[in-house]
Amino acid sequence: MLNKFLVITAVSLMSLIIVSCDRDSASEAKKVTKKKETEIVQNNSKRWYTSSQSMRGRQVFKDNCATCHGDKGQGLAEDWRKPLANDTYPAPPLNGTAHTWHHSKEALLRTINNGGIPLGGTMPQFKDSLTDKQKEEVLAYVMSLWPNNIYMAWKERNPS
Ligand code: HEC
């Protein structure tokens, strides 16, 4: 009788251990997957600039770009897609709500360097008035205005 009781206890103890082991490994696997997912999101949304670069860029932006693009890059025109009376286009928002994120970093730097006048636009050029460092910083600030999903969409178009 006592033997039978011991066997039953041992068996149920063992199954308890097995079940809890299973549960452990399942939750462990879930944790690993979750960790991987967060890593992927973090890697994809990891920005190319440092926060001090974008902070310095904020001042460059304020001094050189905000009069046309708005102090937070929100644009000042009611509709940036609508040409003005003189047939040119208003300065678009740069904060991720327009199409700035369609362009590579090189293309954006080109716009900052050459402005829009060679292409029939009105943006002045900054080739000589800003240093290369300031151009990178102002771009860092512009991108810091983009929410993660926009930054990730940009990065997908522009890997490397
Ligand atoms: C005098 C007004 C003016 C100033 C100042 C100005 N921009 Fe622009 N920007 C424009 C206009 C207008 C456009 C649209 C293209 C055109 O007409 O040249 C434009 C376009 C752009 C674009 C392309 C946006 C896109 O979605 O493709 C970028 C990037 C940009 N500007 C960045 C800057 C930065 C950075 C500065 C400051 C260093 C700056 N701009 C200063 C008027 C200005």
What would the pLDDT profile of 133-156 be if each residue is shown by its tens digit?
999 999 999 999 999 999 999 999
More confidently predicted of 21 and 127: 127
Ligand 1, atom 22: closest residue by C-alpha: 111
Contact status, residue 130 vs residue 57, Cβ threshold 8 Å: no
Q: Considering the chain, what is the average pLDDT of its residues?
A: 85
Ligand 1 pocket test, pick from 49, 62, 111, 139 with the greatest ligand atom count within 8 Å of Cβ, gives 111
- Identify the CA nearest to 142 among candidates 106, 111, 101, 110: 101
Mean pLDDT of all residues in 41-51: 78
For residue 140 and ligand 1, the question of a CB distance below 6 A is answered with: no
More confidently predicted of 106 and 8: 106
Which single residue is written with the structure tokens 């440092």?
A: 50
For residue 12 and ligand 1, the question of a CB distance below 6 A is answered with: no
